[in-house]
């Protein structure tokens, strides 16, 4: 499941399933000797989710995990870059930066000072479909976190001087993480080509020209429109008592006034009518290529097609599910044609997205060879059914990944918050393993034949240009 957020600073997505495979290798052996259904049953035996709703519309989700006296508190807002329109792209991320610049109760700098004095960690992230703020605290400090976080739901002062300084920070962040990063720049151009009128066309961090023209008044309007209790979900996971969390949330969040939330007009991507290709010229040491196929999202899938996102999830893991997956085994280690390769599917957002493959050639290998090899992998999936042994391996990885990921309080809270804010609902989490286990070789071939076709394909190629060696190579710190 696509559970890791597309941060403003993160231009290339990775799924937690894929990113966890290095860890799961340790227990693959266990899962292959233990019946998968037994392992899945172990996952289903987990702590329940307690749900509360305040009168002002704030939803509260609480999950107990008492292995350590620690708690993660996350506040999720249903707003991100996919809510933005032309001229103000990147505004959700800029508001995220300004959320640390003070309220009347806690002026600029106080939030971080108090968090530090209490030995806590805090941060925030902006994605395509949401913006979230979190604190990791000792369980007897949860009230401190709630006091601070609830105060800035409605109380932000947005000082103009701080806005000007922070906008410069964001612009520098964009230069460093996108414009001076050839692969990230290729990804940005790739997304803008793949999507014509879906808001996924725009980067989370925003286009530079839009950032240059943002005004503090734009931020105030955006903040007042979206930062309301009835547009937020509070997720608390850790060593807590659910009833106490609810009472605490009622104390700190209960008096906040809701907004009148006007539904956005739908922005449905216009049907693609053929192959799209682009070249991106940028200073780089090596070429790079991305291939993306339009694919459905679970949130909008018809009832009789609701299995398709799970089949695509398994398909992407067959391509890139650890060292024994096809891209790594056949192209990186086998033929040694690629220095690196990857694949991922994003079907758990609030709108349809892509199944993406990428590759960097090994030394002296033409980029056209990389493209041909990646397309050959797609063609194989279309023509041949996956073997039962290979499918069993992928399913074992899914289960192993679930076991490891549920060790993380932060991850558990992130899954709950992201599923709620994209409109899927947190209960999808409980169905995930069973849905994956139900996928058959025939279904994988069906989605490959249906969606991995040239008319749904976008290809972006990075064409390396000479590198300016005088430019700094180490990332600056983007301190709020």
Backbone angles phi, psi at 70, to 5 degrees: -130, 150
For 54, the enclosing helix (H) or strand (E) is none
CA 399 to centroid of chain Cα atoms? 20
Q: Compute the distance between CA of residue 291 and CA of residue 462 in angstroms, rounded to an integer.
A: 12
CA-CA distance, 251 to 327, in Å (whole number)? 53
Kind of pairing between the strands at 49-53 and 59-64: antiparallel
d(CA 192, CA 190): 5
Q: Are 120 and 145 in contact (CB under 8 A)?
A: yes
Cβ-contact 126, 7 below 8 angstroms: yes
The first and second tokens of residue 68, run together, are 């350590």
- Encoded tokens for 347: 């079907």
355 vs 109: CA distance, rounded Å: 42
Q: Which of 83, 19, 60 has its CA nearest to residue 237? A: 60
The terminus-to-terminus CA distance of the chain in angstroms comes to 31
Q: Which pairing describes strands 121-126 and 131-138: parallel, antiparallel, or unpaired?
A: antiparallel
Give the residue from 240, 244, 243, 239 showing the smallest Cα distance to 69: 239
Residue 461: name the closest of 376, 391, 370, 338 by CA.
Answer: 370
Q: Could you confirm whether 110 is annotated as catalytic?
A: no
**Quick check: 448 and 378 in contact, CB under 8 A?**
yes
Q: How far apart (Å, rounded) are the C-alpha atoms in residues 262 and 78? A: 13
Find the catalytic residue in 10, 51, 84, 96.
96
DSSP state string for 322-344: STTSHIIIIIIIIS--EEEEEEE
Reduced DSSP (H G I as helix, E B as strand, rest coil) percent helix, strand, coil of the chain, to 5 = 45, 20, 35
User: Cβ contacts of residue 451 below 8 Å, gap of 6+?
Assistant: 293, 294, 295, 296, 312, 355
Runs of H (alpha helix) within 110-194: 110-117, 142-154, 160-174, 182-194
Closest to 212 in 3D by CA, of 81, 94, 80:
94
- Residues annotated as part of the active site: 96
């Amino acid at each position: 499941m696509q559970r890791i957020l597309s941060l403003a600073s993160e231009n290339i997505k990775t799924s937690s399933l894929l990113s966890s495979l290095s860890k799961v290798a340790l227990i693959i052996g266990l899962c292959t000797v233990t019946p998968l259904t037994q392992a899945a049953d172990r996952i289903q035996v987990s702590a329940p989710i307690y749900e509360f709703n305040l009168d002002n519309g704030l939803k509260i989700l609480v999950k107990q995990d008492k292995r350590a006296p620690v708690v993660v508190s996350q506040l999720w807002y249903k707003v991100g870059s996919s809510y933005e329109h032309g001229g103000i792209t990147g505004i959700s991320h800029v508001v995220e930066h300004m959320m640390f610049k003070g309220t009347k109760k806690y002026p600029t700098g106080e939030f971080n000072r108090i968090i530090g004095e209490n030995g806590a960690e805090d941060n925030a992230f902006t994605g395509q479909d949401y913006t979230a703020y979190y604190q990791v605290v000792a369980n007897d400090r949860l009230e401190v976190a709630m006091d601070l976080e609830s105060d800035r739901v409605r109380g932000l002062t947005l000082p103009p001087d701080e806005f000007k300084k922070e906008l410069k920070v964001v612009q520098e962040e964009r230069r460093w993480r996108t414009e001076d990063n050839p692969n990230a720049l290729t990804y940005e151009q790739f997304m803008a080509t793949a999507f014509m009128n879906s808001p996924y066309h725009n980067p989370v961090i925003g286009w530079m020209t839009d950032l240059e023209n943002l005004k503090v008044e734009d931020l105030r309007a955006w903040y007042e429109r979206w930062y309301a209790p009835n547009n937020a979900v509070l997720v608390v996971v850790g060593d807590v008592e659910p009833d106490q969390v609810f009472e605490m949330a009622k104390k700190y969040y209960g008096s906040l006034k809701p907004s009148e939330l006007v539904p956005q007009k739908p922005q449905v991507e216009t049907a693609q009518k053929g192959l799209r290709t682009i070249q991106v010229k940028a200073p780089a040491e090596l070429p790079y290529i991305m291939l993306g196929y339009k694919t459905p999202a679970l949130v909008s899938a018809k009832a009789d097609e609701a299995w398709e996102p799970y089949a695509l999830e398994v398909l992407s893991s067959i391509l890139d599910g650890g060292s024994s997956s096809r891209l790594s085994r056949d192209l990186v280690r086998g033929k040694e044609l690629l220095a690196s390769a990857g694949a991922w599917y994003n079907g758990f957002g609030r709108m349809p997205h892509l199944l993406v493959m990428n590759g960097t050639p090994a030394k002296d290998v033409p980029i056209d060879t990389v493209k041909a090899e990646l397309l050959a992998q797609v063609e194989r999936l279309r023509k041949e059914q996956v073997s039962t042994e290979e499918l069993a391996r992928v399913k074992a990885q899914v289960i192993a990944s679930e076991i490891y990921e549920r060790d993380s309080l932060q991850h558990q809270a992130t899954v709950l918050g992201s599923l709620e804010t994209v409109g899927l609902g947190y209960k999808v989490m409980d169905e995930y393993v069973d849905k994956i286990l139900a996928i058959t070789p025939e279904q994988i071939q069906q989605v490959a034949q249906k969606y991995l076709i040239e008319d749904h394909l976008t290809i972006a190629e990075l064409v390396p240009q000479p590198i300016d060696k005088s430019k700094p190579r180490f990332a600056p710190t983007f301190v709020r």
